[in-house]
């Protein structure tokens, strides 16, 4: 297996390939999308979206969660995601917000099992409890996949609802300057899916995004 040092050495040897782009980016960033994904090492935002430096503003955490806002969000809600979203939308002017879940998610497996030994992980995964409830009450969007994947699809979709409570998201949706997407990456076959509101299920992302009007309030 390659090590961290192996990777750094390779980057160093290829650094001149990126010199022009980084010189340009030293002046500032203007990413087109905010990508909220799981920390899982197999889900690499830049690979899945063919993006280079300066294109994605990335937030990653266990389970690709956006905790629901409690009150004004200044107490009770873990602030990291709220702050990152506000920065991306209000300062950087990002126009597409993606929440990306994936198959075989360890975070979702822990939620499903209900046995979490670490209190910090347990506290964090509370943001997935509404999804567990929704999945149990409404059933799977796709009955052909495993239970953990069914839960992951529900959770990824529901994080958009949590995000809609965030002041910055609410404002940009009202102004019509933000599109929101729920993506779901199937690791085994490498397919990227997106939630189709009209069909209430995930379909190939290229098909779903292809029919979405630009700059509409999702
Ligand atoms: Zn995961």
* Residues 32-45: tens digit of each pLDDT: 999 999 999 999 99
Residues of the chain with confidence (pLDDT) below 70: 211-218
Establish if 6 belongs to a structural domain.
no
pLDDT of residue 78: 84
Which residue range(s) make up the domain with 74? 29-210
Determine what percent of the chain is predicted with pLDDT higher than 90.
89
Centroid of ligand 1 to alpha carbon of 108 (angstroms): 7
Establish if 194 belongs to a structural domain.
yes
- For the stretch 114-155, pLDDT in tens is 988 899 999 999 999 999 999 999 999 999 999 999 999 999
Establish if 91 belongs to a structural domain.
yes
pLDDT of residue 215: 47
Establish if 66 belongs to a structural domain.
yes
Dump the DSSP string for 20-87: HHHHHHTT----SEEEEEE--TT--HHHHTT--TTSEEEEEETTS--PPP-TTSSSSS-HHHHHHHHI
Model pTM score: 0.93
Centroid of ligand 1 to alpha carbon of 39 (angstroms): 6
H or E segment to which residue 7 belongs? helix 4-14
Centroid of ligand 1 to alpha carbon of 16 (angstroms): 34
Question: Residue 194: which CATH number?
Answer: 3.40.1050.10
Centroid of ligand 1 to alpha carbon of 176 (angstroms): 30
Centroid of ligand 1 to alpha carbon of 210 (angstroms): 26
* Summary mean pLDDT of the chain: 94
């Amino acid at each position: 297996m390659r090590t961290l040092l192996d990777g750094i050495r390779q980057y160093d040897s290829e650094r001149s390939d990126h010199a022009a782009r980084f010189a340009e980016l030293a002046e500032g960033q203007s990413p087109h999308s905010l990508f909220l994904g799981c920390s899982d090492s197999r889900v690499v935002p830049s690979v899945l979206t063919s993006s280079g430096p300066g294109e994605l503003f990335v937030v990653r955490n266990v389970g690709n969660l956006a905790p629901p806002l409690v009150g004004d969000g200044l107490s009770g809600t873990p602030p990291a995601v709220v702050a990152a979203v506000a920065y991306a939308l209000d300062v950087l002017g990002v126009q597409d917000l993606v929440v990306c879940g994936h198959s075989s998610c360890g975070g979702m497996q822990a939620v499903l099992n209900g046995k979490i030994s670490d209190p910090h992980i347990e506290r964090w995964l509370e943001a997935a409890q509404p999804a567990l409830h929704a999945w149990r009450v409404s059933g799977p969007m796709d009955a052909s996949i495993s239970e953990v994947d069914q839960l992951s699809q529900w959770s990824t979709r529901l994080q958009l609802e949590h995000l809609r409570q965030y002041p910055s998201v609410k404002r940009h949706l009202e102004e019509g300057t933000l599109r929101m997407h729920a993506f779901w990456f199937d690791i085994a076959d490498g397919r990227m899916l997106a939630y189709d509101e009209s069909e209430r299920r995930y379909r190939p992302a290229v098909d779903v995004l292809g029919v979405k009007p630009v700059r509409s309030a999702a």
